[in-house]
A and B are shown apart, each in its own frame.
Chain A
Amino acid sequence: MNNPDIILNAPKDLESFEGKFVVFFSEEKEPKVIFSSFIAEEAYTKAAEITAIEGREPVVIRVQHSISNSILRLLMSR
């Protein structure tokens, strides 16, 4: 016998947040990024503020940064 599934989700548009720490509610069906920063401390502080305001705690994860992509973007923009 098993319990109901534990369904967790992440935002779909994380490619645009590469290298950043993102804050979102993983229990939502289609979570949106509430806050993002390259700096971990900023994201953790924001998560604590959101918890105090909303009464529920978001998760903080870092989106891995694809170096090759960013170099390509840089070259394309020159």
Chain B
Amino acid sequence: MFCRVPYIEIGGRHRPYLETFFANPTTGLVSSKTLSMVDSGADHTLMPFSIGKLIGLSDPSSEEVLSNIGGVGGNVGIITRDCVISLINRSLNKTYTFNEKVWWVYPDEETKQQQNNLIEKIQALRTLQSQSISGTDLYSYFELEIDRIISVLAGINNRLEPGVLLGRPFFNNFEFIQFFHKDRENEDRCFLNYKVARQKPISVLPFVPTDR
């Protein structure tokens, strides 16, 4: 028996997403649940910086060199880490857990410094704004300047927080995975089918839905 997963519309685009969460294999720390995009064009499974931080993946040692990959919005640092990925299947009410290697997006020193500088600027501007009178041009100026810096910070986060991509290595956990695409005008009718390979999960636990 296999499962059929219609694409989910996020921000006006339908894409193949699966419900997943992540854990640190060393400490057992578990992430929040998220939607991971299944990407047949990705050579690796990609994890955003915040999830790796949340589950306490180890920062790169001084000997480790960050790989640099290009993407939309510029280059990002990458480091490989072992990780545990759990896939929720609401159809079978099961959670499948797999051992995986992930590419963890990690900021280089320059990016970290840039972020810190921008955060310091925001804090300074907020202090100045608190000393000005609400409704005045000066107050509005601080507001706009804070918005502008938040926008720059969000742009940096676009690179560090691309969302999870389940790349082709993850597909080895499936007996099969099939994508059913239609043309762009019918994206809402796209779906994928998958069946987990019997021998691949390190655990299969019941998923108890508590939907209202």
Residues of A within 8 A of B (CB): 1-10, 12, 14-15, 18-19, 21, 25-28, 38, 40-41, 43-44, 47-48, 54-65, 67, 70-71, 74, 77-78
Contacts and interface: CB of A to CB of B under 8 A. Distances in A.
A54 B32 CA distance: 15
Interface of B: 1-6, 8-12, 17, 19, 31-35, 48, 50, 53-54, 89-92, 144, 147-148, 150-151, 153-155, 157-158, 161-163, 191, 193, 209-212
A10 B4 contact: no
B154 A38 contact: yes
B106 to A, nearest CB: 14
A61 B10 CA distance: 10
B34 A60 contact: yes
7 contacts: A3-B4, A26-B8, A40-B50, A40-B54, A56-B211, A59-B32, A64-B163
A6 B4 contact: yes
Residue of A1, A4, A15, A78 ringed by the most chain B CB atoms within 10 A: A4
B144 A19 contact: no
> Lowest 3 A-B CB distances belong to which pairs?
A19-B154, A40-B50, A65-B154
A5 B91 contact: yes
B10 to A, nearest CB: 5
Contacts of A55: 210
A44 B193 CA distance: 30
